[in-house]
Chains A and B, each alone.
Chain A
Amino acid sequence: QSVLTQPPSVSAAPGQKVTISCSGSSSTIGNNYVSWYQQLPGTAPKLLIYENNKRPSGIPDRFSGSKSGTSATLGITGLQTGDEADYYCGTWDSSLSAWVFGGGTKLTVL
């Protein structure tokens, strides 16, 4: 059972928009910044969003992040088949003094 809760899977058609939620608590998302990671099949995770809504260099603006209270959301617009991957949220848990990941969400582009 992950400290951060994500839906196991989401799906949408090419060109559409999808959102992935990440629910935490006051000791996690409520008081720390959230980051998101994309893991394409057979590859290492890649940083997609950091500090709630910032994109590293090279990440297209189709990817966006937001945070409200103890929840965070990853948004992907203009879906492409190449976006099919597992997506993970992560943050610091101030109560545990530990990093925590969400359980991951598998995105299928139909």
Chain B
Amino acid sequence: QVQLQESGPGLVKPSETLSLTCAVSGYSISSGYYWGWIRQPPGKGLEWIGSISQSGSTYYSSSLKSRVTISVDTSKNQFSLKLNSVTAADTAVYHCARQTAGATGTTRKYYFDYWGQGTLVTVSS
């Protein structure tokens, strides 16, 4: 059974960098798939942050692209999120998830099949 677990500080100061790690068990990241980060501000909907392949190819949300870095460490079977220059608007539950990457021609068959439970990150001084 594939399991994902987020970890990292629950409190980050404004203007600093938010750093989270997602540990994957039950599946080897190097075997394939994309690996994504999704966040959910309190009381609001889901927002995709970005995704990374096992080889390090990345896609980022255009609204966050200038502040986000997602990296993968296949030796530790984990991937990470860094979001810099955070503000209170970045307060959210951050989820990691496995993303399929199938396609038929230019038609994408993407979806998120396994999710971590999420970790709340509060941005406050």
A interface residues (Cβ-Cβ under 8 A, vs B): 2, 31-33, 35, 37, 39, 43-47, 50-51, 56, 86, 88, 90-92, 94, 96-104
Contact = CB atoms under 8 A, between A and B. Distances in A.
B36 A99 contact: yes
B74 to A, nearest CB: 22
B79 interface: no
A44 B95 contact: yes
Interface residues of B, number: 27
Secondary structure dominating the interface of B: strand
Contacts of A97: 59
B46 A104 contact: yes
Nearest to A6: B45
Contacts of B106: 31, 94
Contacts of B48: 90, 98-101
A37 B116 contact: no
Contacts of A104: 45-46
B108 A35 contact: no
B46 to A, nearest CB: 5
A90 B115 CA distance: 15
Interface of B: 36, 38, 45-48, 51, 59-62, 95, 99-100, 106-118
Nearest to B100: A50
Contact of A44 (B100, B113, B118): B118
Given A97-B59, A98-B61, A99-B59, A35 B112 contact: yes
3 nearest CB pairs, A to B: A35-B111, A92-B108, A104-B45
Contact of A33 (B45, B60, B107): B107
A32 B45 contact: no
25 contacts: A31-B106, A32-B107, A32-B109, A33-B107, A33-B109, A35-B112, A37-B112, A43-B117, A44-B95, A45-B38, A45-B46, A45-B115, A47-B112, A47-B114, A50-B100, A50-B111, A88-B46, A91-B108, A98-B62, A99-B36, A99-B48, A99-B99, A99-B110, A101-B45, A101-B48
